Structures are given as C-alpha cells and as structure tokens.
Amino acid sequence: MNFELKTYSKEIFQKLSLRERDLTNKEFLNCKFKGCDFSESKFSGSIFTDCIFSNCNLSNIKVDNCSFQEVIFEDSKLIGIIFSSINTLLISWVFKNCKIELCDFSNLKMVHTEFLRCVIKEDNFTNSNLSGVNFDESDLELSLFNNTNLGKANFANAINYLIDPTQNKLKNAKFSLPEVTSLLAGFKIDLVSIGGVGEVGVE
C-alpha cells in the first residue's frame, strides 16, 4: 500500500509491512492498525485522531511535529522514538501491554496518560508534566525522572522505578510496598520493617 491519499477515515489496516515508508503529512481519523510493521518509517507532520495501533512495530519511527489525539497503543513495540519532538497540542494517548524502550518523552505535558502493564525501559521523562499518570503494573527499569511533575501519579503495582524525591514533584503520588522503599535509595539509610504491606502516599 502506497498511502497516496492525504486523509484516511475509518480505515482498517491489517498486517502491512511498511518499513522505512514516507507517511509524512497524512491525516488518519478513527483508523485501526493491526499487526503492521512501521519500523523506521517517517510520520513527521501527520495527525492521528481516535486511532488504535494493535500489535504493531513502531520502532525508530520519526514523529517530528506529529499529533496524537485520543490514540491507543496496545500490545505494540515502541523503541527509540523521540516523542519530545511531537506536536504538543492536545496530546491524549494510552499505552497497554506495550514494550516502550529508549524513548524520549522529555519536556512533554502528558497529564493523566495511562501506561498499563507496560515495559518502560530506559525512557527519558525529564522536565515532563506527568501529573495523574497511571503506571499500574508497569516495569520502569532504568527510566529517567528529573525535574518531573509526578503529582497524583499512580505507581501502585509498578516496579523497578528509581525516583529522587528531591529532584521531582511527588505530591499525592501513590506507591505500594515494597517498591516504594526505592525512593530512599539516595539517602543511604537502613529501613526496618515493623508492619504489614500497604500503600504509601507522598504528601
């Protein structure tokens, strides 16, 4: 498929091999992408509204000035994507059961974004607004949080996060034991357990 049109609406794209394709300056409205390989493709300047990517490979796509509004990524692979270069107006997306590695989410306003049951490895969230973000059951190994607004974020059931409370905003964020003890990693103190396991709120 050559994607010669500029606008696509209510289309279903299935099992397409679209590696290294030029998909710049397109508009997709209420479209579904199932089992498609978009790796190394160019999405620069394109607009995705009310779209679903299911079981897709989006590794190393180029997204300069790309717009994502009400977009769902599920069971998909997103590796090496510089999301910090997207169009920041009205970002609204959800990630479910995705592999998200080596991606740059820095300087973005992503309030209330949901990362559900995702592997979020070595991603950069520096200077981002993640207030109200839900990381439920996600693995955040080696992901970077620095000067990040994590107010009211949900880390309950998340694992492997390393967050410095002195460098990030954590007001009313939700954590669960035992993972919450990682917040104390930089303080070189010993923790003694005297009670049961429960949730911890950071004021």
For the domain made up of 22-98, give the CATH fold.
Pectate Lyase C-like (2.160.20)
Per-residue pLDDT at 21: 95
Alpha-carbon dihedral 200, 137, 125, 172, rounded to 10 degrees: -20
Per-residue pLDDT at 194: 57
Helix, strand, coil shares, percent, the chain, to 5: 5, 35, 60
- Provide the CATH number for the domain formed by 105-186 in this structure: 2.160.20.80
Separation of alpha carbons 74 and 196, rounded Å? 35
Q: Which tokens hold the place of 129? A: 């607004």
What secondary structure does DSSP assign to 160-177, as a single string? S----TTTSB-TTEEEET
Q: Which residues lie below 8 Å from residue 151, measured CB to CB, with a gap of 6+?
A: 131, 132, 169, 170, 171, 172, 173
**Greatest distance between any 2 Cα atoms in the chain:** 65
Domains 22-98 and 105-186 in one fold: yes
Per-residue pLDDT at 203: 47
Pairing of strands 67-74, 199-202: unpaired
Q: Which tokens hold the place of 189? A: 């103190």
Q: Residues 139-179: pLDDT tens digits?
A: 999 999 999 999 999 999 999 999 999 999 999 999 988 88
Per-residue pLDDT at 178: 85
Q: What pTM value is reported for the model?
A: 0.89
DSSP 8-state code for residue 109: B
Q: Where are the domains of the chain?
A: 22-98, 105-186
**Cis amide leading into 165 (omega within 30):** no
Q: Which tokens hold the place of 47? A: 């607009």
The parts of the chain modelled with pLDDT lower than 50 are 197-203
